[in-house]
Structure 1
Amino acid sequence: MVKKIILMFLSLLTVTVIGVGAYGLTILNQTTGTLSKTYKGFGNETNVIAENKPMTILLMGVDTGSGSREDPWAGNSDTMILVTVNPQTKETTMTSLERDILTNITSDGETVQAKLNSAYAQGGAKLAIKTIQDLLNIHIDRYVMINMKGLVQLVDKVGGITVNNPFDFDISIEENEPEYTAKIAPGRQEINGDQALVYSRMRYQDPEGDYGRQKRQREVIKKIVEKVLSLNSLSHYKGIIESVSDNMQTNISLDSNSLLQLLGYKDALSTIHQYQLKGEDATLADGGSYQIVTSKHILKIQNIIRKALGMKEIKTLKTNAYLLDGDDSLKENSSQVDSQVPASEEAPVYQDFYQQPVVPSSQDTGVVTPQSSVASVTPVAPAATESSSVTPAVPSE
């Protein structure tokens, strides 16, 4: 769900300023107070934006259940996407993270074996960031988080979006979630915010399950970005900013200086590559269903992210994920690797540019997507999780 917001979020800020010139700055100045409500920092953010360096942004969409919870930020982070934005190569990548990946989650000196998306429920954005840093062995510079109400309002404020329902039946989630009654008919459809939420959440009728849902989420992101870029009314931009502010949290400071600094990343949004970190189905001794990653797959994903940031490829895997070996048993990886990049190392310019957002196949990316299989396996007892060699983006507890 959240993936739809971040590219829109960056596009909104940069396109507003550049696309509408001085008038756009006037609107942004008028809404600075509104935008300041979204800031939830940890006190140790780096100067990556001010220095116009390649950066990583973790996008999270919070599942608020029926929407009746008192705390609009309670729940699991059911959508997680790591975005890289590189102003030097003028490219952006989005890597979707399967929420059911089995990981070690460490908090307050205790380590538990759990699904990736439960890190947010256990310790908020701070613990989610730390856990995903350890999963991917990469530093996360910033995060953006949105709840379900924010998605609905966002789509409505841009005037709706156009999607293509590939199935021969109406997309609906009413059977499992009666409070959501919107439906999307087959084929090309203009949809509003309530429909976009349903379109992004449905998975039980999709033959690809959660992976199919994530494809539709990426489609919605792209459509929101396109719609934002097409807007030509200043009142539209102001309305979008005001609606998003109550339903978004981020540690990206939004003032007149930082908004101008974000302009340095605008060109990177024109070329978007999309990837997926997948696992294989496994039922553990506790009866729970999980996704278990292979060492080959996650190492390739780590190197895709590193390449996007202009960092050197690594040969040795370090991760907090449980790994599936050839015997369908689980083992914990504890290999050490230094993933720091020298300050003097510049990002190379890659020539395999795509001018339209695409979803590369495994042949294009070199990423091996594991075939889904169900196995009943017993995990090796977790050892103490080693701290990441990368300095966390959040303070230690």
Structure 2
Amino acid sequence: MKKGVKITIAVIVSIILLLVAGGTIYTNSILGKIKKTELPKGNDSLGISKEKVVEKEKYKDKDVINIALFGRDGSDQRTDSIMVLTIDKINKKVKLTSLLRDMYIDLPGQGMGILNHAFMKGGSELAIKTINSNFGLDVQDYVAVNMDGFIHLVDLVGGVEINVEAEEIPYINSTAQGMAKERKYEAFKDVTKTGVQKLNGPQAMAYTRIRKVGRDFGRTARQREVLNYVFKELKGQGAIKALGAMTDILPYVETSLSNKDIIGLGTTLMGLDTNSIEEFRLPVNDAYKDEVIQGMFVMTVDLETNRNKLHEFIYGKLEP
């Protein structure tokens, strides 16, 4: 399998949080299927600097919650898909920020490197510390999901409706059939036409992996498109049916959130507008350069501009 066959499933954590709001014994039972990990609680260990989270201080405790979301295939610790899920209780919104993997930034204690190497070099702790220290956030928890969980999730909702462009077709077919053969999935037909159509799990995964059409900007936009579709489909099934379906996905999930945290956040999400997830991505236009450093094609970024734009998206424009 090619390295980089990965997708973060931001929607999985949102769905889990939304559907477990009841906090029943059954809920606690199925949440036991998730792999739990612990992160250090100190701000220094996670790169949380008081000077870099000025916006946070203007809110009451936990009014805006940021959770890191990582995607990998399990055989490789690099996280080629990285997002931040924001739960904004003040404005009753859910927000999703894609962090492009090729940003060349400081990996604390490791020197300069590309963002998707942070998890490989120091696990979830270094990955979160890298995000916080570079972009001035206060992330304290994460959810990681591997590729197979994403494929199963798409198939559980009966596929996703995507408007396929002509230049995307060959990449969808070659990648999807390769994954299906490797995992011994049942045979399925190739995509042969453009326009809106249903893609199954392997095809949807292949669609979200395309980088040669629109570069990484197009790839992360495709990820968010698929995740939004799945989120709406599962939410529309009703809590009991959707929660039952999610039991097949949970073994692919790893998180630092406790069951109590998940249930509490789920209750919060019930009162938010989850029908429309607001989207953003870093780096923003005109605040990065394409360069080749040590043989790597990377994005060097204007950290101040990107940090300010990210804070504005997450926290809004605040009065001094």
TM-score bucket (shorter structure)? 0.7 to 0.9
Name the residue aligned to 1:335: none
Cα distance in 1 for partners of 2:106, 2:297 equals: 16
Q: Which residue of structure 2 aligns with residue 42 of structure 1? A: 39
2:79 paired residue number: 77
1:163-212 Cα distance to aligned partner (Å, 9 max, x none)? 221335514256579733675442111122111111111122x1x11111
Q: 5+ residue gaps in structure 1?
A: 19-23, 65-71, 314-397
1:153-168 equivalent positions in 2, closer than 5 A: 153-167=152-166
Higher relative contact order (CA 8 A, sep 6+): 2
CA distance in 2, matches of 1:118, 1:7: 23
Give the conservation status (yes or no) of the 8 Å contact 2:16–2:266: no
Q: Which structure has the highest helix share of the two?
A: 2
Distance in 2 separating the partners of 1:176 and 1:223: 21
- The aligned residue for residue 280 of structure 2 is 275
Structure 2 SS opposite 1:83: strand
Q: CA deviation at 1:140?
A: 0.4
Deviation at 1:230, TM superposition (A): 1.2
Q: Secondary structure at the match of 1:103?
A: strand
Residues 23-58 of structure 1 show CA distances to partners (whole Å, capped at 9, x for unaligned) of x84642442432xx3221215289x9xx75310011
Aligned AA for 1:281? D
Shift of 1:15: 3.7
Change (3 A) 1:239 1:272: closer
Specify the alignment match of 2:250 in structure 1: 245
Quote the sequence identity (%): 22
Q: Which amino acid aligns with 2:292?
A: T
TM-score, normalization by structure 1: 0.64
Measured in 1, the distance between the counterparts of 2:98 and 2:17 equals 23
Alignment partners' CA distance in 2, 1:269 and 1:45: 31
Kindly report the root-mean-square deviation, in angstroms, between the aligned alpha carbons of the 2 structures.
3.0
- Which residue of structure 1 lines up, in the alignment, with residue 184 of structure 2? none
Whichever residue aligns with residue 192 of structure 1, its letter is N
8 Å CA contact 1:77–1:118 kept in 2: the answer is yes
How far, CA to CA, are the matches of 1:123 and 1:141 in structure 2?
16
Alignment of 1:20-35 (within 5 A): 25=24, 27-34=26-33
1:98 CA displacement:
1.1
What is the DSSP-based 3-state SS (H/G/I as helix, E as strand, rest coil) of the residue aligned with 1:77?
coil
What letter corresponds to residue 293 of structure 1 in structure 2? V
Contact 1:101-1:293 within 8 A present in 2 as well: yes
Is the 1:85–1:268 Cα contact (8 Å) retained in structure 2?
no
Match of 1:137? 136
Aligned mate of 2:194, from 186, 190, 194: 186
Aligned with 1:243: secondary structure?
coil
Q: Does the C-alpha gap of structure 1 residues 174 and 298 become closer, same or farther in structure 2, counting only changes over 3 Å?
A: same
- Count how many residue pairs are aligned between Structure 1 and Structure 2: 285
Per the TM alignment, residue 298 of structure 1 is displaced from its structure 2 partner at its CA by 1.1
Contact 2:67–2:142 (8 Å) recurs in 1: yes
Whole-angstrom CA distance in 2 between matches of 1:28 and 1:203:
38
Which residue does 2:295 correspond to in 1?
A: 287
Structure 2 residues not aligned, in runs of 5+:
1-5, 44-55, 181-187
- Measured in 1, the distance between the counterparts of 2:152 and 2:319 equals 41
Could you tell me the TM-score, scaled by structure 2's length? Answer: 0.78
1:82–1:94 contact (8 Å) kept in structure 2: yes
